Structure 1
Amino acid sequence: MKFSNLAAFSTLAAFTSVASADCDYVSGNYYCSETDAVVYSNVGYSGSFMDVTNMDESTCACTQEKVTFSGAMAPLDQELSVHFRGPLKLLQFGVYYPSEGTSLKKRDATASEDCSTVIQHQHRKREAAVAVVEVTSTVYVDGDGELVSATTGSAVGFSDSAVSTAVVVTSSLAPASSAATSTAAAASSAAASSAAASSSAASSAAASSSASSSASSSAASSSSSSGASGSGWQRVSYYSPGSTTNCTFMNNEGGTAGSGVWSSCFGNSISFAASDGVSGASSAQALDEVTLASDKEYMIFSGVDCSDDSIGDCGYYRGDIPAYHGFGGKTKMFVFEFLMPHDYSSSTNEDMPAIWMLNAKIPRTLQYGDSTCSCWSTGCGEVDLFEILSSGSEKLITHIHDGQGNDGTSTGGGGTQDYFARPTSSSLKAAVIFDGSDESIHVLEVSGDFGSTLSAATVEEWLNTSGSSAALSS
């Protein structure tokens, strides 16, 4: 999502499966079946990326060093920032961590089970058979659908403009009951205690770090998980129009309105966002109920300033910026309610809304610009949650970009060409659940309220939503 229109998607079989799949090729991209949920499995690997260690204004150059990582969800267990591009209206956003001792287990549907409570969490229930996508290798095709290259783990790079897309389309029909689902694991006791404290933190529009830094340690950096029976999930961050708790809205307007900086070398840094989402501000403000126009962006960090290193080190970041922690940990959940109405007011990224996550190191150095000034191009991690790939499209795609299954470049990862329906006139509620216990990420539509707590049963029902699955290769 961040830079390139050429995405390295992955698929189980060779190109012959692409040709036989029931998919449509539209504006350089393939779309297969509408879905309510996508489940990524086998998330996490051992690898490295190049981390920024300095941004030199005198030479306009950045220096980097190699950082290694390993384990379930890595590198996506590191702190993430959450990004939004218009046209989009955000109505709710929240972050949850498991309460102490929580363990959520998949409930297998049986003939005697009343499935009505599960089905109510699926806005658009599909037929009994759903498309299941397994992702283990990479296939590139050109604009005519012809095979360019396939790989099972080595890096492939193309500069030829004729290579316009890469496709994931190995779809097989399977009973809905066999679609991938998983367990949502618990976070550590330390994460739970901080999460509980956060629910009583100040809910003023300012969302300053001082009010919630100690209460949001889990939201910023928790990375451990354990399993036992328990009570559910605790909300540690929340936004509704005009009000925030442990959320900091930012954009890339540094140097324009009292926060952040601008330079001829690196342009505008991140800054506090004003309540309209598009202007800069001198201090943190809560977003009003606004519809972000095409190609305009803002992002959300936690309310914990990077000067608070008791919950982890933010690493290097550009000087004189409002630097805040993101949301870390192997097990965590993000919830959203949003609309994406049509808007053709921009000459770039026209009517192409998106919601995605980045390794929080990226915007704290340079989100757009010289690739050596962020860790993005070397695979430190991005998750595209709901992204429109061509102007005016009604189909939202999800994809993971990191080095998994590749050699550490951002062209690894995987995804599916099944899609969510774009919510243009009525809002969509969604949950994104990172489960460190079984190395999965669930991106799914849900219903119900996003209260200060969510019961284990509610989240279990969400996890049982049938949909597409994408198994990442090691």
Structure 2
Amino acid sequence: MKFISQACAAALLSLAPLVAASCDYVGGNYYCSETDAVIYQNVGYSGSYQDVTSMDESSCSCSQESVSFEGSMSPLNEELSVHFRGPLELLQFGVYYPSSGNSLKKREDCDVATRHHDHKRDVAVAIVHVTSTMYVDGNGDPVASTNPSATAIYTTSSTLAPASTTTSATADDEASTSVSSSAAASSEGSSSSASVSSGSSASTSSSSASTSSTSSSGTGSGWNRVSYYTPGSANNLTFMNHQGGTAGSGTWSSCFGNSISYCAADGVSGAGSPQALDQVTVPSNKEYMIFSGVKCSDTSSGSCGYYRDDIPAYHGFGGDTKMFVFEFSMPHDDSSSYNGDMPAIWMLNAKIPRTLQYGNSDCSCWGTGCGELDLFEILSSGSEKLITHLHDGQGDNGNSQGGGGTQDYFERPTSGTLKAAVIFDGSDQTLHVVKVDGDFSSTLSASTVNKWLKESASVANLS
């Protein structure tokens, strides 16, 4: 589904020796260093995408109109749905927002608890700086877009991969690490990525990272949990899948196939009403998704825009600043089917599944860049390396396969579970995907969230 332009491919080839020196090429994808966190910087831009306005069953066609957006985190500040593909067992999921009436604080002003830890932990972090499209001349040197010899190449990210370092971060003792510059591409998998990191020296890349904003996602009185799931219990969220027309919800047509539907407790079947997922391991190539518990008919929460007729339509999770937490396992299975043993967790602009997630590209906004964020994705069958990548038009000349990513990876939790937080910080345009520990209680203090950020950011000298 993701493509690499010829110009991008040429750039990747020119950097191949750098990749080969520090990364492994497996199953069509590069994998570099294991990481505990990925921080996306400079997220959000001004652009537009084609939004669906109608779906015509008689002609099997869809109409679209242009929708413009701008600002911090855009278009990922729009409502998002959260998607899961097996083999996967979900143990916890939650959504948090900052407590109302509190402004975001600078990391250096945070509670002292965020600066002093009495434990040690191996931490590695990858930094992805999402940039605008770069133009080069015939020699590969940067030029203005108006230059007659200019060619657009999608050098969309600069990736820093500090070595895993045992740290005990305090105000007086920040961790220091070595930093390596890498370049990589992936051309396989349902959500594979094409990214080029800086070909300059590590010191140049490090300088770019160190000049970023240092504001923190923690607020003065913390974060409130608005939606939460544990097996058998779902509070203010709705499980769905793609079984429309089979079990009392959603619809089916020869034009557009099965719509979304309520998901049964087994995670695989459809249902006629909302159900909480049981403690189940969903098998390979089976998917479900999570929306909020608020129906689109509740206009007090804003408009969902156009969505397919006769579906259970719910709002997603919007906002510049928000946090998602997960606890999950991804055990191996022996499936040889399409997407066999390739689990994934990702986010989509919630408009996409409410129209057509798979099928005619004119029937969703996905192809024109309304937003996808791959959080934890296996790119080849049986792999134990989870990749993250942002897909929208930023940095890729309007191509939805752009954005940025890293070939550093999280270790797949095949036994036991992985806990993680995904933190959108609209105040400084950063997006953090971070392994965490501790409980996901109904409220989280600013010091707790800032500790999660601090443990990773300090390794890259961002604190």
TM-score, length-normalised on structure 2? 0.79
5 Å matches for 1:460-471?
460-466=450-456
Counterpart CA distance in 2 for 1:418 and 1:260 is 39
1:332 and 2:310 aligned: no
The residue aligned with 1:56 is: 56
Structure 2 counterpart SS, 1:466? helix
Counterpart CA distance in 2 for 1:102 and 1:59 is 50
The residue aligned with 1:146 is: none
Counterpart CA distance in 2 for 1:165 and 1:400 is 9
Deviation at 1:153, TM superposition (A): 7.6
The residue aligned with 2:433 is: 443
Matched length: 400
- Counterpart of 1:85 in structure 2: which amino acid? R
Deviation at 1:346, TM superposition (A): 4.4
The residue aligned with 1:97 is: 97
Structure 1 counterpart SS, 2:106? coil
Counterpart CA distance in 2 for 1:424 and 1:44 is 34
Counterpart CA distance in 2 for 1:345 and 1:9 is 36
CA contact (8 A) 2:42 2:130 kept: no
The residue aligned with 2:87 is: 87
Counterpart CA distance in 1 for 2:40 and 2:213 is 10
5 Å matches for 1:303-322?
303-322=293-312
Deviation at 1:184, TM superposition (A): 3.7
User: Residue by residue, what CA displacement relative to the aligned partner does 1:94-123 show, whole Å, maximum 9, x if unpaired?
Assistant: 0000002153432499xxx97435x66x5x
CA contact (8 A) 2:391 2:402 kept: yes
5 Å matches for 1:131-142?
132=127, 134-136=129-131
1:402 and 2:392 aligned: yes
Deviation at 1:181, TM superposition (A): 8.0
1:341 and 2:369 aligned: no
CA contact (8 A) 2:39 2:127 kept: no
- Per the alignment, do residues 390 and 105 of structure 1 end up closer, same or farther by CA in structure 2, a change over 3 Å counting? same
Structure 1 counterpart SS, 2:245? coil
CA contact (8 A) 2:3 2:401 kept: no
CA contact (8 A) 2:128 2:404 kept: no
5 Å matches for 1:349-428?
349-428=339-418
- Counterpart of 1:27 in structure 2: which amino acid? G
Deviation at 1:152, TM superposition (A): 4.8
User: Residue by residue, what CA displacement relative to the aligned partner does 1:207-262 show, whole Å, maximum 9, x if unpaired?
Assistant: xxxxxxxxxxxxxxxxxxxxxx6210000000000001101000000000000000
- Counterpart of 2:456 in structure 1: which amino acid? S
- Counterpart of 1:90 in structure 2: which amino acid? L
Deviates more, 1:269-278 or 1:16-25: 16-25
The residue aligned with 1:267 is: 257
- Counterpart of 1:80 in structure 2: which amino acid? L
Deviation at 1:457, TM superposition (A): 0.2
| Unmatched runs of 5 consecutive residues or more in structure 2 | 135-150, 157-186
Counterpart CA distance in 1 for 2:153 and 2:384 is 31
Counterpart CA distance in 2 for 1:248 and 1:8 is 42
- Per the alignment, do residues 182 and 273 of structure 1 end up closer, same or farther by CA in structure 2, a change over 3 Å counting? farther
**What is the root-mean-square deviation in Å for CA atoms of aligned residues?**
3.2
CA contact (8 A) 2:12 2:196 kept: no
5 Å matches for 1:98-137?
98-100=98-100, 101-107=102-108, 115-117=116-118, 124-126=122-124, 132=127, 134-136=129-131
User: Residue by residue, what CA displacement relative to the aligned partner does 1:287-330 show, whole Å, maximum 9, x if unpaired?
Assistant: 00000100100000000000001111000000000000000000
The residue aligned with 1:71 is: 71
- Counterpart of 1:299 in structure 2: which amino acid? M
- Per the alignment, do residues 131 and 280 of structure 1 end up closer, same or farther by CA in structure 2, a change over 3 Å counting? closer
Deviates more, 1:69-78 or 1:340-349: 340-349
Counterpart CA distance in 1 for 2:259 and 2:294 is 19
CA contact (8 A) 1:270 1:363 kept: yes
Deviation at 1:445, TM superposition (A): 0.2
Counterpart CA distance in 2 for 1:306 and 1:43 is 27
1:248 and 2:238 aligned: yes
Structure 2 counterpart SS, 1:434? strand
Deviation at 1:343, TM superposition (A): 1.1
Deviation at 1:16, TM superposition (A): 4.6
Counterpart CA distance in 1 for 2:6 and 2:373 is 13
Counterpart CA distance in 1 for 2:69 and 2:339 is 34
- Counterpart of 2:30 in structure 1: which amino acid? Y
Counterpart CA distance in 2 for 1:8 and 1:136 is 19
- Counterpart of 1:430 in structure 2: which amino acid? A
Of residues 179, 184, 194, the one that matches 1:166 is 194
The residue aligned with 1:208 is: none
- Counterpart of 1:73 in structure 2: which amino acid? M
The residue aligned with 1:183 is: 215
- Counterpart of 1:75 in structure 2: which amino acid? P
Deviation at 1:411, TM superposition (A): 2.2
Deviation at 1:463, TM superposition (A): 1.1
Structure 1 counterpart SS, 2:444? strand
The residue aligned with 1:151 is: 153
1:237 and 2:238 aligned: no
- Counterpart of 1:343 in structure 2: which amino acid? D
| Unmatched runs of 5 consecutive residues or more in structure 1 | 140-148, 155-159, 187-228, 470-474
- Per the alignment, do residues 29 and 242 of structure 1 end up closer, same or farther by CA in structure 2, a change over 3 Å counting? same
- Per the alignment, do residues 447 and 7 of structure 1 end up closer, same or farther by CA in structure 2, a change over 3 Å counting? farther
- Per the alignment, do residues 397 and 152 of structure 1 end up closer, same or farther by CA in structure 2, a change over 3 Å counting? closer
Identity %: 66
Deviation at 1:125, TM superposition (A): 2.8
Structure 1 counterpart SS, 2:215? coil
Structure 2 counterpart SS, 1:322? coil
The residue aligned with 2:270 is: 280
User: Residue by residue, what CA displacement relative to the aligned partner does 1:57-102 show, whole Å, maximum 9, x if unpaired?
Assistant: 0111111011111111111000000000000000000000000215
Counterpart CA distance in 1 for 2:329 and 2:103 is 32
Deviation at 1:38, TM superposition (A): 0.4
User: Residue by residue, what CA displacement relative to the aligned partner does 1:424-471 show, whole Å, maximum 9, x if unpaired?
Assistant: 0010000000000001100010000000000000000111132798xx
- Counterpart of 1:166 in structure 2: which amino acid? A
Counterpart CA distance in 1 for 2:36 and 2:228 is 24
Structure 1 counterpart SS, 2:449? helix
Counterpart CA distance in 2 for 1:35 and 1:169 is 17
